[in-house]
Amino acid sequence: MIQQEKMKISSHREIASQIFELSLEGELVNEMKQPGQFVHLRISESIEPLLRRPISIAEIEHRHKRFTMIYRADGKGTRMLSHKKAGETIDVLGPLGNGFPIERKKGEKALLVGGGIGVPPLYELSKQLVKQGVEVFHVLGHETASKVFYMDEFSSLGKTYVATVDGSLGTKGFVTDVLDQEDLSFDCLYSCGPMPMLKALENKYPAIEGYISLEKRMGCGIGACFACVCHLADDPSGTKYRKVCSDGPVFKIGEVMI
């Protein structure tokens, strides 16, 4: 059930260049089940920006009633957010959206591909898959080494490859360059990141079962404002759509136009 709560910051730190890890505590965590869901944060109570900001959930710790987000401080709202300190509170609406389906058989192999700030939701996903006995592979793409985060965390769950556009860490290029080199075999694909990356994966693996999480500019975050619509792929009339915030953000590969 969606809830709104003023949650307490338990920790907040910069983990890579302009990339922040923010952990919050509160009852709302009890409602978090599926990896890939997101929350809507009200950064400021009084001054601009009044709009909430959608941020994906990177880790859920029910035992501690705590969850963690990882975000990039690159806009006015997120830069303001980055100055908040442990002990302060933030108004959180969530959990929102439909996340990644994770019902898989023990021993199956899953490929998780993330790009930039699309990487964080794959961490909770990977943890939950591993708990079910799924073997996971991660392929993570970033601009440059100073933007890379959570390599140890991902590596502790499964084999992890990294690509950087400038070649400062791992394979030079994009996640697809790693995939071309490694020829990994897997039963299911999960991905979150920029649209060109998702498109490239859709083209590369047309026959595989897969799920992608879309990043879209949002307004309400709860299906009321139509700011986040995307069109269905198999609809020649172009009139059928889905809302990323409430129907997604996770869709089956090939379901919506990207």
Annotated binding site: 53-56, 70-72, 77-78, 220, 225, 228, 245
CB 29 within 8 A of CB 14: no
CB 258 within 8 A of CB 212: yes
Backbone angles phi, psi at 143, to 5 degrees: -65, -50
Amino acid at position 135, single letter: E
Binding footprint of ligand FES on the chain (CB under 6 A):
218-221, 223-228, 243, 245
User: Smaller CB distance to ligand FES: residue 195 or 224?
Assistant: 224
Shortest separation between residue 64's beta carbon and ligand FES, angstroms: 30
Shortest separation between residue 36's beta carbon and ligand FES, angstroms: 16
Please state the residue numbers annotated as binding site for FAD. Answer: 53-56, 70-72, 77-78
Dist. CA 121–CA 69, nearest whole Å: 8
User: Smaller CB distance to ligand FES: residue 65 or 243?
Assistant: 243
Please state the residue numbers annotated as binding site for [2Fe-2S] cluster. Answer: 220, 225, 228, 245
Q: Which residues does 158 contact at the CB level (< 8 Å), separation at least 6?
A: 126, 130, 135, 136, 137, 138
C-alpha distances in angstroms, 67 versus 11, 27, 58, 64, 201?
A: 10, 11, 8, 8, 29
Dist. CA 255–CA 252, nearest whole Å: 5
Shortest separation between residue 66's beta carbon and ligand FES, angstroms: 26
Shortest separation between residue 245's beta carbon and ligand FES, angstroms: 3
